[in-house]
Structure 1
Amino acid sequence: MNKKVNVVVWEKQDCPYCEEVKRYLTDNGFEYRTVDISRHEALREVLLIKYGVDDVPVVEIGFGNRFDAVTEMGIPKLEKTIRHYRMSN
């Protein structure tokens, strides 16, 4: 059974790293949802509680009830996490 990988990009306006991540996901055929923390400042607290960070981009990747978050800048960690989920699928 092929499970759909869910992707959520936590972002803010005028964030070049956020745009880089979204471009990478789009170029590689991933659909994703976005959460804009610049519109809802309280969402920074959510990131802090969930992942110990309060800046973006944060990319949540998973399926079912299992999600991992990529909180490191740059594409290599994102690629590694995506590969893991594709192999698990």
Structure 2
Amino acid sequence: MSEIQSVIVWSKEGCHYCAEVKDFLHEKSIPYQTIDVTNHDERRDILDIKYGVRHVPVVEIGEGHTYKGITKVGLEYLKEALQVEETPS
């Protein structure tokens, strides 16, 4: 995995996919911050402006001054962006 300055998870309460993303990051010991969009449509507006989506989870990965937004739902997209390899069970 490359050096990552920050990971931000945009999520909402009761979102199964959001919990899956957070569990994965915790399992891989990747620190992250959460932005909760529950009852905050203005935060969804930010996602719409930045990435053209209003759904969560959205994961932003910061490297230097550049942030990449992972807007597709599914851990495979996050793993690819983080360049995380699967550990054998």
Which TM bucket (shorter chain)? Answer: 0.7 to 0.9
Contact 2:9–2:59 under 8 Å retained in 1: yes
Task: Give the number of equivalent residue pairs.
Answer: 83
Shift of 1:4: 4.1
Q: 1:66 aligned to 2:57?
A: no
Structure 2: runs of 5 or more not aligned: 85-89
Q: Normalized per residue, which structure has more helix?
A: 1
**TM-score, normalized by length of structure 2?**
0.86
Percent identity of paired positions between Structure 1 and Structure 2: 40
SS state at 2:19 partner: helix
Q: CA contact under 8 A between 2:4 and 2:61: conserved in structure 1?
A: no
Please, what is the CA RMSD of the aligned residues?
A: 1.6
SS in 2 for 1:34: strand
- Aligned residue type for 1:8: I
TM-score, with length taken from structure 1: 0.86
Cα distance in 2 for residues equivalent to 1:44 and 1:12: 10
Q: Which runs of 5+ in 1 are unaligned?
A: 85-89
TM-fit CA distance, 1:40: 2.0
Matched with 1:87 is none
